[in-house]
Each structure stands twice: as structure tokens, then as C-alpha cells.
Amino acid sequence: MNYSRIIGTGGYLPEKILTNADLEQMIHTTAEWIVERTGVEQRHIAAPGETTCDLAEQASRRALAAAGIEPRDIDLIIIGTTTPDHVFPSVATQLQHRLGCYGCPAFDVQAVCTGFVYSLDIANRFIRTGASRHALVVGADTFTRIINWQDRGTCILFGDGAGAVVLEASEEPGIIDSRLHADGRYKELLWVPAGISSSYDKTRKNAAFVEMRGSEVFKVAVTTLKEITEQILTANNMEVSDLHWLIPHQANRRILAATAKRLGLPEHRMVDCVRIHGNTSAASVPLALDVAVRDGRIQRGDTLLLEGFGGGFTWGVVLLIY
């Protein structure tokens, strides 16, 4: 039986850093209040003209280097993103062009902050069926492009970035199991009212920006992530204690802490990068994974649980041996 294993990780953050002190000069807030409410101390902001594909390319090249393979070895590219460079073509096809690995399937997945988890699940299925041997899976967003910088409830949370992994077909277990879910009833709790084909009110002041009901999102996120984690562990005859690392979507520190507490997982076994990255949407899970791999916390053979939760709502988990 073919498994798919992660053989390389990569991450990229734009050079510009926006600190809480900077935000104090932009909106009515304090650095202390931001940290207390979110745990975020800084976030990275894409430069003018720097696109989602630019970020994805940097993360991808680092993942390829870590995997020790060339772009020509890649036979599948999937990118989770909410902020593509264009309506079309996809970011994935543009990344394919930059890497020079022409001809293989390349497409984007829109599941907002769960985009990387959705993409990883899809790539795993390609490999398990023999349709791919080396897949490049990316989460990338220039999410600050759809943020209203006068909205204190959202602008303090989000940043830009990209994370990538290379999956390889293997006889050794890698991805063990995954679960994906969605529920469109919750869309107005976290959404962007603007759209290409929707007949939204064009006079609406903030139609093209993210709108979020934070407390309601918090409640649904913590509940659903606890339930889906318990489901996938039970299905695989595992306990929370069998996990070496939980790598959750880096939404905000309060959601991370609440999820760990409800699962009975010690916080020191949860990868937490939200302080320095903020919420980078689809990039947050692969960025956190890359940070923990490169600083030595995650070792070969460790059992990991990756969690995503995003607008829509969408949510999902991937259980794997690194």
C-alpha cells in the first residue's frame, strides 16, 4: 500500500513587520489589549506588488530544498488560498510556471483558513491512488489585502505568509487519516460580503473586507475542533496522550489555549506561533509546522495532528507520522 509522507517543509514571511505599537498609531487600541485578547505581538505584511504567488514560491523553494528534490520531480501542485493574484488563472498554475514543472495538475483550493488541511487531504488521496508520487502542497495568503484597517476586531489578528510541504509516495506510514467538514449555515459569522457574481450592495462601505463576529466564531471553533480531534483519534484507536504535537490553525491564542484545555493536552505539546505570525489564514498550519521542524521540536517518527478552521465554516484535521 502506498502512503504519503512529508519529506520537506518550507515557510516564508514578508519582510515588513507591523507591531502592536504600530497599530496603536493607527487605531484606538493598546499593545497590551491586543496581546491580552489575541496573543499576537506582530504580523508580517506583504509589500506593495508582492503577491500570494510570490510568497508561495519562496516557501515552495525552501520545501523543495529541504526535501532534496528538483521542481521537475513534482507531479502535482495544490495551493490553499483565499487571496489569489487573479480571478484566474490559479495561483497554482502560476507557481508551476515559475518552478518550471510544466504539465502536471495544478489547482487552488478555497477553504479559507482550512485551505492547507483540505489541500493536504486531496494530495494524499492522489498519492494513495497512484496518481502522483511527489506533490507540492502550499498554504499561502496575502490576507491583509482584504482587511479594513479601521476595524479593530479584525486588523489586529491577521498577517500574510506562506507555508509548503513536499509529499512523497512511500511504503512507510506517513498520513494516517484525515477528516474534512463544512457547514455553510455559519457564513455570516466570518466572511467577505463582496463577490464576483453576487448581487451585494455596492454602496456598502466595507463590502470588500473581512467581517467577523469574534465571540461566536470562538465558540464554534473550539467545539468543532475538540469533536473532530476526538473522532479521528477514536477511529484510529489512539488517545490524546499518543500525540507528540498538536499543530492547530494559528487563529488567536485564546482559541489555541481553549482547544488544548478541552482536549486535556498540555500546552507545551502544542505548536504556537501566533505571537510572531498572527493569523495567516491558509498559511498558518504549514508555517507552524515548518517552524517546529526547523527548530528541532518535531523529530522523525513523531505523531502529529494538524487542525484547520476557517470561514464558511470549514474545518478539518490530518493525523500523520512525520
Residues marked active site are found at 113, 249, 279
| Residue in the block written with cell 510556471 | 97
* Residue among 116, 10, 108 at smallest CA distance from 66: 10
- How far is it, in rounded angstroms, from Cα 147 to Cα 144? 5
- Burial of 237 per CB tally in 10 Å (0-12, 13-18, 19+): exposed
Dihedral sign of CA atoms 54, 276, 314, 168 in order: positive
- Cβ-contact 263, 245 below 8 angstroms: no
Here the cell at position 6 is: 512529508
Span between the terminal Cα atoms of the chain, in Å? 18
Q: Cβ distance 142 to 58 under 8 Å? A: no
Question: Strand pairing of 245-247 and 211-212?
Answer: unpaired
